[in-house]
Structure 1
Amino acid sequence: MKALIWKDLQLLKYVNFIIGIVGILFTFVIMSQEVFFISQLAYAFLAFVFPYVASMFLSQHESKSQGDVVVNSLPVKRREIVKARYYTLGVYSLGINILMFVLSTLIGVFMSDSFRGSPSSIFTIFLAIAFTLIFFSLYLPFQYYSQGKVQIFNGIFYLLLMLIPNILRRYGQKIMTTKFFNVLVSLDFVILSFVLLLFSLLLYALSFGISTIIYKNKEF
């Protein structure tokens, strides 16, 4: 399984380079945002987008190179193949959040005169990881079921993700005056983050079981 995880990470090395540069630039941009809720929302959005882009790249690479056929020709159990992908994306999500937390904290400590925004908080990390794992819990079984259909989904979903920042810029002020937004802000994010993180971990484990069953019964 370690070899499979390493294979995924090697495939992502160029993607990681691009994500690293984009992540650093956007962290500086977010640290110039003085509204706490907006800055934390931006951190969470990036922390979701980056693992998704990595997953989309891996999916496209496997589809083009028939990676599943190659891997299944090796003496590796299919359960281990699925487990490696779940580990890769889980650790990737955690790593992205930690790096953004460290970078934003360093900017806040050493460049506070120029960047007066708030660094990523531990509870933002919990929420970002929770939403990412919940998404992958639904996405990965679908991917193992049909690579072709998931490619169509990726194209549509990626466009929607790119539209979200523009929508928030245009309608952000109106959204912040809605009753739903006020209720959302009034929630106890400490409790909510812990509950969602626990739920996401349980759902991720359940999703792994479902994906394993799907993949074991798949013909290549």
Structure 2
Amino acid sequence: MFHLIKRDLILQKKQLLIFLPFILLFIIMDAHPVLTFLVASFFIPFNTYAYDEKAETNILLNSLPYTRREIIASRYLGAVVYMIISVGLTSAVLLSLGKLFTMMDIALGSGLFLLFSAFTFPLFYILKPGYITTAVIVVFIILSGIGPPIVALLAEHFSVITDFVMNLSIPILYTGSAVLIMLIYLMSWGLSTVIYQRKVF
């Protein structure tokens, strides 16, 4: 399974050359660190899906000595590995440029990436290939733009929930959020595994 994760990096050698310039663009544009970490985490896993969608790699993967469960596990574990690497590289670039960020920025960016991945990864196994990657990227851009105003609006109109959340201690809030995100991610992993095992190529 480690070889499947490594395969994604090998296939994306050329795309990885634009990773740092891509991140530098966000930093130069003075984007919020949370958005920068989110986009950096997004880069490798979704490029992999885009490549596989065009090349119909699933036929090749299923001819290799890996179970379908292992193929899906490599995608979900790989996304976490790439996220950690991307966060590390982005942090190094931000520090070298003297840009301030906090552990909260990293946590929010990583958490949002895992949530977005949890909701979109199964789509690559449910929908027919062709335009899934484009649709996912468009939705990502739209949500990046309208997400914060929507959250602010909901917080204003659902004050009971907002007050409850605000009254929680910081450790409980962080722990609860992390557990919830991981549960959603694991549920998505399970759903993708079930769909992929039943899929005919």
Provide the TM-score with structure 1 as the length reference: 0.72
Given candidates 18, 43, 48, the residue that maps to 2:38 is 48
Q: What is the alpha-carbon distance in structure 2 between the residues aligned to residue 189 and residue 85 of structure 1?
A: 34
- Give the superposition deviation at 1:129: 0.9
Structure 2 equivalent of residue 153 of structure 1: 135
Structure 2 equivalent of residue 111 of structure 1: none
Taking the TM superposition and a 5 Å limit, the aligned residue runs for 1:1-220 are: 1-30=1-30, 42-108=32-98, 119-148=100-129, 150-151=132-133, 153-154=135-136, 156-157=138-139, 160=142, 164=145, 180=156, 190-191=170-171, 192-220=173-201
- Give the superposition deviation at 1:2: 0.9
Q: What is the alpha-carbon distance in structure 1 between the residues aligned to residue 187 and residue 8 of structure 2?
A: 22
Is the CA contact (8 Å cut-off) linking 1:27 and 1:100 kept in structure 2?
no
Q: What is the alpha-carbon distance in structure 2 between the residues aligned to residue 127 and residue 158 of structure 1?
A: 16
Structure 1 unaligned segments of length 5 or more: list them: 31-38, 109-117
Structure 2 unaligned segments of length 5 or more: list them: none
Q: What is the alpha-carbon distance in structure 2 between the residues aligned to residue 106 and residue 61 of structure 1?
A: 32
Amino acid at match of 1:139: T
Once the two structures are superposed, what CA deviation does each residue of 1:38-57 show, in whole Å capped at 9, x if it has no partner? Answer: x6xx1111222233343332
Q: What is the alpha-carbon distance in structure 1 between the residues aligned to residue 96 and residue 137 of structure 2?
A: 35
Is the CA contact (8 Å cut-off) linking 1:126 and 1:193 kept in structure 2?
no
Is the CA contact (8 Å cut-off) linking 2:118 and 2:185 kept in structure 1?
yes
Amino acid at match of 2:104: F
Is the CA contact (8 Å cut-off) linking 2:68 and 2:196 kept in structure 1?
yes
Q: What is the alpha-carbon distance in structure 2 between the residues aligned to residue 65 and residue 23 of structure 1?
A: 26
- Give the superposition deviation at 1:150: 2.4
Is the CA contact (8 Å cut-off) linking 1:48 and 1:132 kept in structure 2?
yes
- Equivalent residue of 1:120, what SS? coil
Q: What is the alpha-carbon distance in structure 1 between the residues aligned to residue 194 and residue 36 of structure 2?
A: 32
- Give the superposition deviation at 1:135: 0.9
Distance change >3 Å, CA 193–CA 120, structure 1 → 2: farther
Percent identity between matched residues is: 24
Distance change >3 Å, CA 193–CA 29, structure 1 → 2: farther
Is the CA contact (8 Å cut-off) linking 2:124 and 2:132 kept in structure 1?
yes
Provide the TM-score with structure 2 as the length reference: 0.78
Is the CA contact (8 Å cut-off) linking 1:134 and 1:200 kept in structure 2?
yes
Is the CA contact (8 Å cut-off) linking 1:123 and 1:189 kept in structure 2?
no
Is the CA contact (8 Å cut-off) linking 1:137 and 1:207 kept in structure 2?
yes
Amino acid at match of 2:142: L
Say which is worse superposed, 147-156 or 52-61, in terms of deviation.
147-156
Aligned positions, number:
191
Q: What is the alpha-carbon distance in structure 1 between the residues aligned to residue 92 and residue 182 of structure 2?
A: 23
Q: What is the alpha-carbon distance in structure 2 between the residues aligned to residue 106 and residue 145 of structure 1?
A: 42
